[in-house]
Amino acid sequence: MVTNKKNKIGNSIIIILSIIGLIVCITVLFPQVRRMMLDYLIEHVVHREISSYQVWFDVLLSYAVCGICCILFLDYFTLINSGKSLVRNVKQEIKDCWSEIDFRSFSKPLILLIGVYFLGILTIVRANFLYRDDIWRAVESIFWQWFGWSRYVSVFSSFIVHADINLTDISPLPQLLAMVILSISSLLLVYVIGKKRITVVRLLASIPLGLSPFILENLSYKFDPPYNALSILASIVPFLFIARRKAFLFVSVLSLLVMCTTYQAASGIYMMIVVILCFQYWSNKEKTNKEILSFIGTAAIAFCFSILFFKFFLMRPVDVRASGYISNSMFPASHIISGILGNIKAYAMNVNHYLNITWGIGIVIVLLFFIAKSVCSSAQKKIRSFFASILVIGLLFILSFGLYYFLEAPLLAPRAMYGFGVFLAIMCISVVSDYKKIAVVAVLALNWCFLVFAFSYGNALADQARYAEFRITILLNDLSVLYPDVGREDLSIQVENPIDFTPLVKNTAKHYPLIEELVPTRMGRFAWDDFYYLEYFNYISYKKANWPVDGYIDFRTLDLPVVLDSYYHTIKSDGEHVLVILKH
């Protein structure tokens, strides 16, 4: 009797809260209400002008629609008997899967991985380099850009990490958090692919997941690393619940939504793990074809539902003209096949361009060992195993770039290609699992090369930062002598040419072509460094005229007289327009 009374009270509370929530969400759908909310946010929370109301209109609209969907789902699972029964079953399955994991066995492997990963990024942390967007965020405390890329979990996680709604430079804490998250990800990947058997060799084989050359750019930022790493972890967690179908489906949907709202470059990792597990089941005859197809179907349903929910309710459209370099617009139906093939080709060419000879040879050897092991240890016919292993390698490579293939203007920078590192980790773990020692040597040698490159890259960052600050100091000294009036606001400065690479960076680039892509050049035209050399060095009295906005004038078209010519730069000016030409 008491229980029924408590249930009725609980249901009544849920109904009342649902009605209130629906009213609030439906109210937000009206533009006037969103305008009032934004005005309140500016006045009482952010205390600054928001440049684009339309961005926030879209964000609030997405939240309202999501809120309505979530409330309806919540009501179904808490008020309807069939929903309650489903919740109980899923909850029990999650508990069962959780109880089957021996977390105490994870402690020592996790410490080992944290040590290796920390060693790998030591020189990057020591470089203390303000990397690309970091300049803007360090000076302006801006995190709103993540909203523009639909990275809502990143935004709210940053509130926790930074203990404030405004961002400040708290490095190296974000990088250290990322190292812990990547260590957990590597450990879980070994646990899932290695059939719950964790060894030191397998742990070391998983290093490309967090220290491949392609993820080092993500770890170079001072604000983004934990959330980028979280996207990898979220893609692996569902496979801890693979033994229970309903639990696996539920956790997959939640985890994939987390991945989509942190960093979408990880969108292929989930399906990569599905492919390698299905190959293992088939190769070892652990499951029937029907069971394998059922597993694929469950994973595909979770993946498609999550991606479609993100696309239609959470994703903000980004136009290449607005972003300046990429777009999340998909190919039209008539061009989707040719567009995807073109992106696959571009991705493969970029990977090939960034790899040096040593890495390329090491990767080819690892892939050959994967094929050899698949043929030798397979319970299937040898010829079928041979072709199946080649097919798996091809599928995993394609999936490593995720859903970016469907975009008209995808990002092909290394930071968007860290799925290739996960692909290598999967191959390496598979090769060293119960196979010949020569294969283990090949895998560890490749991973050692990646660790060495991480040291080289961090030192290159530090050397470039030292040289850039030296050049900026000389330039600002000359400008301050020529234009000492700190209150003057009619002077516009424009910079031509970036600060060139140091001899150390150039020498490193001879051996590692990827270095020139990873190490940013300071200053130049249309660069983030307007903020760096003016605001970061407290030289903010004059206008920045480098970006092509309304009224933009290219100072090179003006016949400006030379007012100073030195070894490092030439300064031209007519008293109002200043053109700085940096010399190489």
Claim to verify: residue 44 and residue 148 sit in the same structural domain: no
Question: pLDDT digit string (tens) for 456-485?
Answer: 999 999 999 999 999 989 998 998 888 887
| 136-140, 543-547, 579-583: segment of lowest average pLDDT | 543-547
- Give the helix/strand (H/E) hosting 269: helix 269-284
90 belongs to a structural domain: no
Query: Sorting pLDDT into bands at 50, 70 and 90, what band is 168?
Result: confident
- One DSSP character per residue, 71-101 reads HHHHHHHHHSHHHHHHHHHHHHHHHHHHHT-
Claim to verify: residue 316 and residue 396 sit in the same structural domain: yes
Claim to verify: residue 311 and residue 221 sit in the same structural domain: yes
455 belongs to a structural domain: no
Question: pLDDT digit string (tens) for 176-228?
Answer: 999 999 999 999 999 999 989 999 999 999 999 999 999 999 999 998 899 99
446 belongs to a structural domain: no
Query: Sorting pLDDT into bands at 50, 70 and 90, what band is 48?
Result: low
Calculate what percentage of the chain has a pLDDT beyond 70.
Answer: 87
Query: Sorting pLDDT into bands at 50, 70 and 90, what band is 16?
Result: confident
84 belongs to a structural domain: no
Alpha-carbon distance of 439 to 428, in angstroms, equals: 9
Claim to verify: residue 167 and residue 62 sit in the same structural domain: no
461 belongs to a structural domain: no
Range of the domain at 470: 466-582
Claim to verify: residue 37 and residue 156 sit in the same structural domain: no
Claim to verify: residue 374 and residue 227 sit in the same structural domain: yes
Claim to verify: residue 131 and residue 230 sit in the same structural domain: yes
Indicate the pairing of strand 569-573 with strand 562-565. antiparallel
Query: Sorting pLDDT into bands at 50, 70 and 90, what band is 540?
Result: low
End-to-end CA distance of the chain: 85
572 three-class SS = strand
CB 153 within 8 A of CB 230: yes
Tell me the torsion sign for CA atoms 212, 210, 106, 172.
Answer: positive
CB 404 within 8 A of CB 265: yes
Predicted local confidence at residue 576, as pLDDT: 84
CB 273 within 8 A of CB 193: yes
449 belongs to a structural domain: no
Cα distances (angstroms) measured from residue 573 to each of 420, 474, 482, 567: 48, 18, 10, 18
- Give the helix/strand (H/E) hosting 351: helix 336-354
Q: Which residues, 6 or more positions from 499, have their beta carbon under 8 angstroms from its beta carbon?
A: 467, 468, 471, 472, 521, 522, 523, 524, 582
Lookup: tokens for 230? 């979280």
533 belongs to a structural domain: yes
Cα distances (angstroms) measured from residue 401 to each of 56, 112, 371, 407, 432: 29, 29, 22, 11, 24
Query: Sorting pLDDT into bands at 50, 70 and 90, what band is 318?
Result: low
Query: Sorting pLDDT into bands at 50, 70 and 90, what band is 154?
Result: confident
Alpha-carbon distance of 106 to 190, in angstroms, equals: 11
2 three-class SS = helix
Say yes or no to pLDDT of 311 above 80: yes
Say yes or no to pLDDT of 146 above 70: no
Locate tokens 């020139």: which residue?
A: 516
Claim to verify: residue 326 and residue 396 sit in the same structural domain: yes
Lookup: tokens for 167? 């961002």
Which of 450, 460, 551, 472 has its CA nearest to residue 207? 450
Query: Sorting pLDDT into bands at 50, 70 and 90, what band is 528?
Result: low
Say yes or no to pLDDT of 147 above 70: no
Locate tokens 């909310």: which residue?
A: 37
Which of 93, 91, 66 has its CA nearest to residue 77? 91
CB atoms under 10 Å from CB of 335, counted, come to 12
- C-alpha torsion angle, residues 335, 338, 339, 343 (rounded to 10): 180
Say yes or no to pLDDT of 4 above 90: no
- One DSSP character per residue, 290-322 reads HHHHHHHHHHHHHHHHHHHHIIIIIPPP--HHH
Q: What is the mean pLDDT of the chain?
A: 86
Instruction: Provide the residue type at 215 as one letter.
Output: I
Average pLDDT over residues 382-393: 95
Query: Sorting pLDDT into bands at 50, 70 and 90, what band is 547?
Result: low
| 125-129, 132-136, 260-264, 361-365: segment of lowest average pLDDT | 132-136
Query: Sorting pLDDT into bands at 50, 70 and 90, what band is 302?
Result: very high
Question: pLDDT digit string (tens) for 244-286?
Answer: 999 999 999 999 999 999 998 999 999 999 999 999 999 999 9
Predicted local confidence at residue 483, as pLDDT: 85
Average pLDDT over residues 61-85: 78
Calculate what percentage of the chain has a pLDDT beyond 90.
Answer: 54
Predicted local confidence at residue 12, as pLDDT: 82
CB atoms under 10 Å from CB of 445, counted, come to 14
Claim to verify: residue 61 and residue 134 sit in the same structural domain: no
- One DSSP character per residue, 207-218 reads THHHHSTTTHHH
Which of 461, 455, 457 has its CA nearest to residue 134? 461
Say yes or no to pLDDT of 536 above 80: no
Claim to verify: residue 388 and residue 490 sit in the same structural domain: no
Alpha-carbon distance of 44 to 541, in angstroms, equals: 28
Claim to verify: residue 57 and residue 102 sit in the same structural domain: no
The set of long-range contacts for 315-321, using a CB threshold of 8 Å and a minimum separation of 24, is 315/150, 315/260, 316/55, 316/58, 316/59, 316/62, 316/147, 316/148, 316/149, 316/150, 318/148, 318/149, 320/408, 320/409
Predicted local confidence at residue 529, as pLDDT: 63
Strands, sheet with 569-573, edge to edge from the N-terminal-most edge strand: 543-544, 492-496, 577-582, 569-573, 562-565
The count of domains in the chain is 3
Cα Rg of the chain, angstroms: 27
CB 329 within 8 A of CB 319: yes
| 181-185, 412-416, 449-453: segment of lowest average pLDDT | 412-416
Say yes or no to pLDDT of 408 above 90: no
Question: pLDDT digit string (tens) for 83-93?
Answer: 778 888 889 99
Claim to verify: residue 430 and residue 472 sit in the same structural domain: no
558 belongs to a structural domain: yes
Instruction: Provide the residue type at 113 as one letter.
Output: L
